[in-house]
Chain A
Amino acid sequence: MSDAPLNSTPQTGETLLSVEGLSASYGAVRALDEVSLNVPERGLCAVLGANGAGKTTLLRTLTGLHRATSGKVRLAGEDITRLPTEKVITRGLAHVPEGGGVIIELTVEENLRLGALWRSDRRDRTTLDEVMDLFPPLVERRSRPAGTLSGGERQMLAIGRALMARPKVLLLDEPSLGLAPLITKQIFSLLRDLRDRTGLTVVLVEQNAAGALSVTDHGFVLNQGRVAAEGPSDGLLADDRTRHAYLGF
């Protein structure tokens, strides 16, 4: 990996999240093989690839849910590779895992409050109100168990909980999984909106490559644990070779 400029859109800035030579494995199986990539501040990036390409492992290794065997992860210059998950979160990296990880036994509001519990200003209700404003369907269901929500609402709640931590970078693992195309579209445009309005940096792992590339500025394609291709999203979308070889459309 090089330090090639990723500023495909004018508003992106300096590298915020940098990954250098990151490797991880499950037993004898190498899931990540020397992955290097840089995500600029205010970037909106897609990580694409087939099933088993290492996308989920990449996110899990970034937030310390999975142990890296070698390599470095830096967030705003700080080395966070060996930090335990609960510390990584406090440094400004939020992670919405596959399926959302909503706690169905807790109410909607408890789920949201949980996201900000580690903050010293957790009593401040402005964040909660802001997040609720982003997702109107959650407001009327705030005291219901999260298990009663629909799939799309759960995904909103999961993103909301991540935002409660006021992160610098938001990692999302397949938010479109199992959702209707219309709802997927809503969520994608919400992410773009968030980036444009608040300057949040977003890394979106997706199976749905076409949809993800149409909303992001930059894309990374993983194949068998390596970065096989990367570039501006419209470029990747136009590149037939990459599309056929790795993205399957």
Chain B
Amino acid sequence: MTSPTTQREERPAASGAGTTPPRTPGTSRWGALPLPARHLLLAALGLAAVTGLLFATGDLTALRIAAVGYTMLAIAGLQLLVGGSGQVSLGHGAFMMIGAYSMALLVLHQPTLPIVANLGIIVLVSIVAGVAVGAATARLHGPYLAGATLILAVGLPGLTHRYHDFLGGSNGLNIRTAGVPPFLDGLVTTSEWRTLVVWTTVVVGLALLATVSAGRLGRRMRAIRDDETAASMAGIPVGKTKVVAFVIASAAGGLAGGLQAYVLGTVTPSSFTLVLSLTLLAALVLGGIGSLWGALWASVAIVYLEIWATDLARSLNMTRDAENNLPIVFFGIVLILVLRFWPLGVHGALQNLRARLRARSNSS
């Protein structure tokens, strides 16, 4: 039941990709466009594709498509951090948690604010959190940064118990967000509307991330990733660039968390476990480091591997414990196998395949 859905989910997005030939600049009008415009155009195409997909598949899959969206945004932020500047963060889930709780608190305490304002505030909050953590960890490198961010991911949910009255303890917070606006009433369902809000935010976020990563900042980050000493001798402000990368990633993660809370209408500390943070990073590598396409495969993998595993467990009549645990076991095994046979992830494998096909068609 679910597999044709993913097929359809991937195909329109992929056909949008087919029209991006940045490798042959000058030959087309496409190459003449400034980069941000190109990214915005792609974003619009992506949004159109998702809208089409949404109407083609109906209300049932809307939440899944939304989940792919906000997961992709979170992973794309991580992509910029890990793939761009080479910093390994095991605490990305913590920023999703900050965003999600910000969204819940805003809806609960300022119910009149429009969603756009909420999202803007969430970005600001995440930036502040990112600056704090990023500045504190700026001097940590490699495994030390990974260890520190891991502790953040484990430790942050504890705050909900500490401030039980404000953050709701382990029950979390439940919110009601506004549904379909009046002028669209009857045209789209509530979950479809929310999915569209999510994806609009996501494509704008992705366009921004792509623009940053293609620009000067992205080049500086990659220089630092490749050789920190050489980068600093070339006059690149290493510390500042790393913090900026961390902050951008945090903002993307926070925004993703906010969207998640908006769609699900509930936030609990148990949604932001260490496993979430590990899964985000692992999925990024599984999808393929160094490209936003990798983030797409990664988020599809996170959302759909879990669904498939649950379906599988049900069809095999497994025990509850087995059913609950099968998704992460399944994910872990897929992860290890992908790394074993495609060290560059799914995106890398697809690129190799394309290069091979092209070579074959050229030779014939």
Direct contact of A and B (CB under 8 A): no
B residues touching A (Cβ–Cβ < 8 Å)?
none
